[in-house]
Amino acid sequence: MSKNIDLTQEGIQVKRSCCFFCHQNCGVLAYVKDGRILEIEGDPNNPTNQGALCCRGNIALKHLDHPARVNYPLKRKGKRGSGEWERISWDQALDEIAAKLDQIRNEFGAEAVTTAGGTQRTDDWARRRFMNLYGSPNGFHNAHLCWIPTFMVETAIYGWCPFETDLTSSRCLVQWGHNPGASGMPEMRGINDLKQKGLKVIVIDPKFTETASKADLWLPLRPGSDLALALAWLNVIIWEGLYDAAFIENCCVGFNELAQHVKDYTPEWAAPLTWLDPELIREGARMYATNKPGNIQWGVAIDQSGTPAGAAMHARALLRAVTGNLDAPGSDLLTGPSKEFITDEEMEANEWLPEEQKAKQIGSDRYKITSWPGYGKIAQLCKDVWGKAPTAEWMCEAHPPSVYRAILTGEPYPVKALLVSATNPVNSYGESLQVLEALRKVDFLVTCEYWMTPSSMLSDYVLPIAGALERPTFHSVYGCSDFVIATQRAIQPMYERRTDFDFWRDLGIRLGQAEMWPWETLEEANYYRIYPLGYGVSSYDEFVEKVFYHFPEREYYKYGRIGFATPSRRVELVSSTLAELGYPSMPTYIGPAENENDDPDLAEKFPLVLTTGGGFMPFHHSEHFQIEELRFLRYEPYMDINPTTADKLGIKDGDWVWIETERGRIKQKANLTQGIHPRVIVTQRGWWYPEREACEPELGGCLESNTNVLTSVADKDCDPIGGSWANRGLLCRVYKVESSTITSGSNGKDGK
Amino acid sequence: MARYAMVLDTRRCIGCHSCTVACKVHNDLPVDMIYNPVTTVGPVGVFPHVHMEFIPLLCMHCANPPCVECCPTTASQQREDGIVWVDENKCVGCKACVMACPYGARIPNHEKGVVQKCDFCKDRLVLGKEPYCVATCHQRARIFGDLDDESSEVYRLVNQENVVRLLPELGTEPYVFYIMD
Amino acid sequence: MKPKEDIWGWMLAVDFFFAGMGGGMLVIIGVVEMFLGEGRTSLIANFIAPLFVALGALLLILELGRPFQAWRVFLNPKAILTIGAWCMLMAIGFGLIYATFGIKALPWSGWVVIRKLVAVFCVIFGLVVATYPGVLLGRHKSRPFWTGFGMVTLFLTSSLVTGSSAHLLCNLILPPAKLEISTILPYLAAGLLAFQLIFWILYMWMKKTGTTDREAQAIQSWINGDASIGFWGGFLFAGSLIPIVLLLIPSAISYLIGVILVLLAGLWMRINVIHAGKTRTWLPGEERYRGRLPLGDEAFLKAWLKD
Ligand SMILES: Nc1nc2c(c(=O)[nH]1)N[C@H]1C(S)=C(S)[C@@H](COP(=O)(O)OP(=O)(O)OC[C@H]3O[C@@H](n4cnc5c(=O)[nH]c(N)nc54)[C@H](O)[C@@H]3O)O[C@H]1N2
Ligand SMILES: Nc1nc2c(c(=O)[nH]1)N[C@H]1C(S)=C(S)[C@@H](COP(=O)(O)OP(=O)(O)OC[C@H]3O[C@@H](n4cnc5c(=O)[nH]c(N)nc54)[C@H](O)[C@@H]3O)O[C@H]1N2
Ligand code: SF4
Ligand code: SF4
Ligand code: SF4
Ligand code: SF4
Ligand code: SF4
Ligand SMILES: [Mo]
């Protein structure tokens, strides 16, 4: 992997592979000889990255063969978490896991087996297919934190989620709790290009981020107060007459009701809740409404705000509707699912899961829009109008905190097994202490991983998984885009690694699902999926090499032809679907999960407002802390604090500080910055220390600086609509770490 | 003859460090060696009235390089096309150039006992490719080219945009130019 | 601020110390020979002067990343270091040759013209060896502590101070055949010390009020920061003022103590001057960036070393 390798030598093949260190899936050209990758570079022909690669993309070969990788199936030898392992064969592992799952199904029912995922990293339709055929409705991801509730709420209102922004002719872009400057490099390039051509950019973010530093307008709102801001924007746009009257007249229902509903949500009303000047709120609303066409880019912040999350995404969606910024050139597009290739949903075998099993999905009694009650309804509407439904994996899942609680309490019924694939739950799910207890307690724990993560450390079996260079990637945005970018494996998996698809398939075959898994390899499955595109290729690899990607011809204003996928076939400014599910049909103000107005006592104890996370370079959530080249650039965690506040607390730049909420405390180093309100604290997410011991009690230092020790998954702090828990807009306090305690492996509960 | 130069568009740079990593990985540098850091300036001001810039650094390939003059072994040299580089075979690691370079661009390699630095990826230029740090930048904040070529992007930027050089008062005449907002 | 921008280390400072002292001694040896004739400096001094320069050269070589390639430093006639290296070589050579004239058994000990000629070379090369570190440092425009002509004077002065003190010491051990300059030496040293004292204060004042903010900042730690006790109390008071007094008391003991203080002060000065050069003129944001990089001994750097 260096300039010292001659890439013109004979026998080198160039493979069109990709990077999966985040879901931008940048194209990678791999120079392969004799089954080894000599060098990689960004694929200049890939429409996403156009030759570029970020920090993580560049270290792919280090990641591929890092000394800390798990390369063989491992079975626990000593006690849980003792760090003692026995290397076994895949056959033995799969046989034993299958036997155990069979036994659990017989004794406790299929629903006692659950599976945890993280952000989209692999072919999770296979996981879903396995679970459906096995009979359990209890698959889940931390999808609740990441776009999925947004997708479902927006689909409820106007029949699809406009995740594709048609930026080329846009005049105004709102980055709402979104920081592509650190989280989406290729996306940020597009914004940079358009900015130079005059695109106006509004950033709504408590922190002065990379993206904010390039913006025309920055609204540093109180974390978690997005709902108040969105309602005030609706008020301004509607009552100042800035709405799109024709679109509302022709395409929407319920405008008058909505107008009355938001009448009192004035900027003056929102000011004390958002800590923003009313004039600044007006300026933002006017800028968005009058610079048409315009876009509101999805950002993850609202999904993670807990209690008000569903209402806030609802209000944000209505902003697009009242300004007519839907499916028009330069606005947010409603593409619908692909009609041309086989979608993820069609691979999932959802029809095989019996109704009575669907009803057992944990959390579906409370958080309906992201589980079978809401998904079932919305998927049907989509099928009626679009002809296909959105992916059920992600959009329709068990409620993760409720599953972890079920493991600990046996309520509503016993949960006996957890299959973890492509997630590091202790660091990414909420309230880490509870997650950790659940992992310690669950009867049977299997993890499919690249590394010994804290959850691998506690597992009964750890299975070595092949990465993006070792498997084909079918990129279609959680299975919901109408386009696909297809890339191939550069090499066969190294050592004894296998793909996640192989794992679920081989397990399924052992559990009697053989005839349901006709594709022996992922390439075969992908070929089946792209075959209907009709390019006349005879294999998936040929598709990658000759066709590479498929973007359908863009059709604007599709609603004119087919309507919106709602019961009324219109944009429902008053949502019948939400009402039917028992939720408010219009967004109504709810305060942030923890706040000074609703709970002054708590605010006295925890006077600062905390928001946990925001992606930062070069890491991806809890990943890549092992890669020395990356870790060198940020080897310690930093939290942001305003110098005025730091001064009062006797904290200097670079000091270790404790950040504490009702759930526990962690330590990070202080980064003094004027880019943040004196009452706001931002912590970095993901942190653990893989260089520490990979066994109990240290578990890779997974609690010490882990911001999810601080977050809340209590039902009262969860969004009643989508079930997301509270990562952003919490109450905390901050104080200096005394030097004597700096190196201790605190578990967050000690010495309060 | 070409005169290579780089333009860094700070309006576009987001401080992602990808260029730093690309350079290190592809040039086979030990983990602690950085040819091209990217620094953050700010947020400057008082909340909420602040601004912030990211400054990608690297060897300036000075027209008047103190690092070459001071090198007792002639290992440090400048080519006609302006590229300043170190012939590792000749370098004895005396660090005179490390001290002489005003831009922190020279880094001792303790494994090899020599001093190394950015060489504008001269070996890649031969293959007709851009430097690693340029190719890897999603934001296209680094623009590389030949300043003698009037049709080049760098020529256009240097002559049409408001560019500055770092520490101009030292008289080193950097061939790395910054577009500042 | 932490590494990883490596700078010159203590070995170079010690090199400058010994080479400078040796150079200073050679200058005195040569001047005395030229104007007063032979036998007026201690034979030990005559031998030890070139050996000090050689010791300096050795340390310079050890400081190199590739010591076995040291011969390459002679290759760029435009580089100060090359000039310095050649001059050190010459100084060692001529110094040793001159010293052998003191051994009466050797056949050439009576060749007066040659001896005088060698003495001239001792002065020339001794002077360069004593001065070039100052020239080298003074040319660093981006190291505000060093930059400017002042360094040249400071190094030359210090070399002569330590050189004359070393002579005094040698005289105590093995007095020369003819003693007349022995009585002048303490005054010479004391006078140079006084000059050094004044010039250092002047230097600080020039930097403080001088050309750029960066220079004013660079000396801050010497004036009232980390290095201030060492500078005011150690270098100027104990290493310059006290020895002046001691050298004016004609007694072997007070000479001895004075000389030791002077030598220690000379060493302190060089180590700290070299060290002060670590502060480069920072580029925007650079100090914080480097300040947050690992030092190199962090656990994550060692945890996964491949064997
Ligand atoms: N480098 C890097 N890139 C990544 C990832 C990573 O971990 N690292 N993860 C990937 C994944 S899975 C995702 S989902 C995307 C997410 O990418 P983004 O949508 O950009 O989400 P975040 O970076 O998590 O947070 C965005 C911003 O929300 C702000 N914020 C915090 N609280 C609030 C609030 O209450 N309201 C508002 N309006 N803003 C708030 C934060 O300051 C942050 O700047 O990034 C992807 N890309
Ligand atoms: N407090 C707080 N918590 C958050 C967030 C926040 O902003 N604040 N962000 C949330 C968001 S948006 C998300 S998406 C989640 C992310 O949560 P996770 O997805 O759990 O985050 P990662 O740390 O990326 O963990 C992924 C794990 O899967 C492994 N892995 C990667 N690729 C594969 C694969 O192909 N197969 C298998 N089997 N394993 C693989 C990696 O080695 C890594 O250990 O975190 C959420 N948690
Ligand atoms: S990690 Fe970087 S290179 Fe890889 S897909 Fe994401 S943005 Fe692209
Ligand atoms: S890769 Fe580009 S955007 Fe990122 S830090 Fe380097 S120059 Fe800036
Ligand atoms: S930046 Fe430094 S290393 Fe590069 S040419 Fe200029 S002086 Fe030499
Ligand atoms: S370290 Fe090497 S390149 Fe630098 S001055 Fe010394 S010999 Fe020349
Ligand atoms: S031009 Fe090449 S050597 Fe120089 S910083 Fe960029 S990648 Fe590194
Ligand atoms: Mo995410």
The answer, yes or no, to whether residue A563 has pLDDT greater than 80, is yes
Q: Which domains does chain A have, with CATH numbers?
A: 13-53 (2.20.25.90), 89-147+336-422+465-550 (3.40.50.740), 163-333+557-580 (3.40.228.10), 600-741 (2.40.40.20)
Give residue A188 CA to ligand 3 midpoint distance, Å.
Answer: 12
Asked if B84 contacts B67 with a C-beta cutoff of 8 angstroms, the reply is yes
**pLDDT attached to residue A412:** 97
Report the amino acid identity of residue A365. Answer: D
**pLDDT attached to residue A2:** 67
Phi, psi values for residue B76, rounded to 5°: -80, 125
DSSP code at position C228: H
Q: Does B180 touch chain C (CB under 8 A)?
A: no
Residue A434 CA to residue A437 CA, distance in Å, equals: 5
Kindly give the confidence (pLDDT) of every residue in chain B, 181 residues in length, as a single tens digit, with 9 standing for 90 and above: 899 999 999 999 999 999 999 999 999 999 999 999 999 999 999 999 999 999 999 999 999 999 999 999 999 999 999 999 999 999 999 999 999 999 999 999 999 999 999 999 999 999 999 999 999 999 999 999 999 999 999 999 999 999 999 999 999 999 999 999 7
- pLDDT band for C170, please (50, 70, 90 cuts): very high
Q: Helices marked H in A184-338 — which ranges? A: 185-196, 226-239, 245-251, 255-261, 267-274, 278-290, 309-322
Return the ligand 2 atom nearest residue A421 CA: 38
pLDDT tens across A191-215, in order? Answer: 999 998 999 999 999 999 999 999 9
The answer, yes or no, to whether residue C305 has pLDDT greater than 90, is no
Of A4, A51, A632, the CB nearest to B31: A632
The CATH number for C10-282, chosen from 2.60.40.10, 2.40.160.20, 1.20.1630.10, 3.40.30.10, is: 1.20.1630.10
The answer, yes or no, to whether residue A751 has pLDDT greater than 70, is no
Under DSSP, is residue A723 helix (H, G, I), strand (E, B) or coil?
coil
pLDDT tens across B33-81, in order? Answer: 999 999 999 999 999 999 999 999 999 999 999 999 999 999 999 999 9
Place of tokens 């076995």: C68
Report the amino acid identity of residue A537. Answer: V
**pLDDT attached to residue C116:** 94
Residue A292 CA to residue A297 CA, distance in Å, equals: 15
The answer, yes or no, to whether residue A745 has pLDDT greater than 60, is no
Prediction pTM value? 0.95
Nearest CA to ligand 6 atom 4: B97
**Mean pLDDT along residues A676-698:** 97
Closest chain C residue by Cα to residue A669: C292
Of residues C259, C281, C266, C68, the one with CA closest to residue C168: C259
Looking at the CA of A427, name the nearest ligand.
Answer: 2
- pLDDT band for C7, please (50, 70, 90 cuts): confident
Residue A699 CA to residue A313 CA, distance in Å, equals: 37
The answer, yes or no, to whether residue A8 has pLDDT greater than 90, is no
**pLDDT attached to residue C307:** 57
Distance in Å, alpha carbon of A68 to nearest chain C alpha carbon: 7
Nearest CA to ligand 3 atom 8: A26
Q: What is the CATH number of the domain that holds B144?
A: 3.30.70.20
Count of CB atoms situated within 10 Å of the CB of C288 = 15
Task: Please give the full DSSP string across B120-173, using - where no structure is assigned.
Answer: TTHHHHHTT---HHHHH-TT--EEEEETT-TTSHHHHHHHHS-EE-SSGGG---
pLDDT tens across A466-476, in order? Answer: 999 999 999 99
Distance in Å, alpha carbon of A190 to nearest chain B alpha carbon: 8
Average confidence score pLDDT of chain C: 92
The answer, yes or no, to whether residue A369 has pLDDT greater than 80, is yes
Of B70, B90, B93, the CB nearest to C65: B93
* Cα→Cα distances A525→A469, A529, B5, Å: 18, 6, 49
**B 118-157 residues with CB below 8 A of C?**
none
**pLDDT attached to residue A741:** 52
Residue A729 CA to residue A727 CA, distance in Å, equals: 7
The answer, yes or no, to whether residue C84 has pLDDT greater than 60, is yes
Give residue A188 CA to ligand 8 midpoint distance, Å.
Answer: 17
Give residue A706 CA to ligand 2 midpoint distance, Å.
Answer: 13
pLDDT tens across A390-430, in order? Answer: 999 999 999 999 999 999 999 999 999 999 999 999 999 99
Candidate of A56, A58, A176, A183 to mutate for ligand 1, largest count of ligand atoms within 8 Å of Cβ: A183
Q: Which domain holds residue B35?
A: 4-179
**What residue spans define the domains of chain C?**
10-282
Residue B110 CA to residue B93 CA, distance in Å, equals: 9
* Neighboring chain B residues of C65 at a CB cutoff of 8 Å: 91-95, 108-110, 112-115
Give residue B136 CA to ligand 4 midpoint distance, Å.
Answer: 8
Best to test chain C binding among B99, B165, B166 (most C CBs inside 10 Å): B99
pLDDT tens across A26-74, in order? Answer: 999 999 999 999 999 999 999 999 999 999 999 999 999 999 999 999 9
**C 43-62 residues with CB below 8 A of B?**
none
Residue C165 CA to residue C170 CA, distance in Å, equals: 9
Residue C155 CA to residue C139 CA, distance in Å, equals: 14
**pLDDT attached to residue A746:** 40
pLDDT tens across A595-640, in order? Answer: 999 999 999 999 999 999 999 999 999 999 999 999 999 999 999 9
Under DSSP, is residue A551 helix (H, G, I), strand (E, B) or coil?
coil
Average confidence score pLDDT of chain A: 96
Q: Does C266 touch chain B (CB under 8 A)?
A: no
DSSP code at position C235: I
Task: Please give the full DSSP string across A50-78, using - where no structure is assigned.
Answer: TT---HHHHTHHHHHT-TTB--S-EEE-S
User: Radius of gyration of chain C from Cα atoms?
Assistant: 21
Task: Tell me the β-bridge partners of A447.
Answer: A420, A462
Count of CB atoms situated within 10 Å of the CB of A78 = 11
The answer, yes or no, to whether residue C306 has pLDDT greater than 70, is no
**pLDDT attached to residue A744:** 38
* Neighboring chain B residues of C289 at a CB cutoff of 8 Å: 37-40
* Count of domains forming chain B: 1
* Neighboring chain B residues of C293 at a CB cutoff of 8 Å: 32, 34
Return the ligand 2 atom nearest residue A451 CA: 42
Distance in Å, alpha carbon of A207 to nearest chain B alpha carbon: 10
Tokens of C50: 């070139």
pLDDT tens across A141-178, in order? Answer: 999 999 999 999 999 999 999 988 888 899 999 999 99
Burial of A546 (0-12, 13-18, 19+ CB in 10 A): exposed
Of residues A146, A172, A155, A177, the one with CA closest to residue A22: A146
Q: What is the ipTM of this complex?
A: 0.95
Percent of chain A with pLDDT over 70: 98
pLDDT tens across C89-106, in order? Answer: 999 999 999 999 999 899
Burial of B108 (0-12, 13-18, 19+ CB in 10 A): buried
Under DSSP, is residue A735 helix (H, G, I), strand (E, B) or coil?
strand
